[in-house]
A and B are shown apart, each in its own frame.
Chain A
Amino acid sequence: MKEKEIRREEAETVRRCGRAKDLLPLMLVGEAAPGDEEFVRVHLQGCAPCREEAESLRTLLGSLATAEVPDPGEEYWRTFLPRLRNRITGKRADGSIRWSIPWPVLSAGTAMLLLAGSLVVGWQPQGSAPFQRMKEIAGRARSEEIREAFEKVYPGTEASLPIDWGIRALPSANRMQEALDVVLPTDETDFYATVRALPPEAQKWFVRVSSRGAV
């Protein structure tokens, strides 16, 4: 009977230690619930291993908190905004003009590709779901949103692509899905599935066209 009680007590201690260890990180950053914090405090008073654990975590958090990021210096901060402004206006640091894709053209290119895709899908009976979806997307995409979408799926595209990459940099199906999430966040079109639903010839065409855009 006594042995049973001892076992039960040991199991309870293990459970309490486990709970205390789970709550310690939250308590040390001040985000434990008041009741949980009280539980840990009481437990620590009677449990040396958990006190050690708490001390060790406190040391770790302390060393993290004191680690500073080196300041790059006043010269860096003095030139920070002018450099940023140069990027915004399309100038390089050396004063030359940066290539910038005319987004209306790119937008038109995207729409063209989508419409071309629609035509390919036209091999299927008119009015099929993929045809309608692609046509609708092409009609709804706007240049500013396309620009944002491209920046998301191809970071840096806005700055340095030669003009003839404008059309070729079109995203392939899975990247187009990412772009669509930006352009039409409420649209639930599964573009990948839409492309997969194309006839094999159309799929090959799409892959051939879009893979040229790999930057």
Chain B
Amino acid sequence: MTATPDLSERDLDLVRRFQAGEDRAFDELVQTHRREIYRLAYRLLGNHADADDLTQDAFLRVYQSLARFRGESSFRTWMTRIVLNLAADRRNERTAKRQVSLEEVPLKELGVETGPTARHFPFAERTVQRAVGLLPPRQRETLILRIFEGMKFHEIAAVMGCTVGTAKANFFHALKGLRERVRV
């Protein structure tokens, strides 16, 4: 999710147009951000079906809440926060339903991945990808936002509602946890 000042202003312009009653401005926001939101969702949840659900839900939430968006944070930060909240809701639902989550499965039992992922990740990368999925949620989210979304720690802190120090500590522990699992 690379945000340039231009994109940020364009987002705000679209938001204002939507708030002024131009419903189609929302479609433009979707077309602009859908791929990056899908990628973030995929990295958070690890498979296409969940990523699709989360991406759809996130834009639905945006549609329902956009009228109240006041631009106090960037659209990107706001949208990322929505995605993380929805991902957390899913995690909680999964825990409530006592489904087996990725976090509960030992790495060695995960087996060789099939489907599109297998074509895209060389083995070592798939191992790292799985190890990311085994990190505690806050560490995983911090790592994803820093490495894949290219966010600075102060932006991560804003998205996750924590201090910059906590964001850095989560990142540090995430890397430590990864190294223990993949032994690079």
Contact = CB atoms under 8 A, between A and B. Distances in A.
Q: Please determine whether chains A and B interact with each other in the same assembly.
A: yes
Interface of A: 22, 25-26, 29, 31, 56-57, 59-61, 63-72, 76-77, 80-81, 83-85, 87-88, 147-148, 151, 155, 158
Nearest to B184: A60
A168 B34 CA distance: 35
B138 interface: no
A66 B125 contact: yes
A67 B128 contact: yes
21 contacts: A22-B172, A25-B175, A29-B171, A56-B184, A57-B175, A59-B184, A60-B182, A60-B184, A67-B125, A67-B128, A68-B121, A69-B38, A69-B42, A70-B48, A77-B34, A83-B56, A84-B30, A84-B59, A87-B60, A147-B64, A155-B86
Q: 3 tightest A-B contacts by CB?
A: A70-B116, A60-B184, A69-B42
A77 B36 CA distance: 12
B121 A67 contact: yes
Contacts, number: 94
B152 interface: yes
A155 B57 contact: yes
Interface string B47-69: 01000100111011101110000
Nearest to B89: A155
B154 to A, nearest CB: 9
A171 B178 CA distance: 39
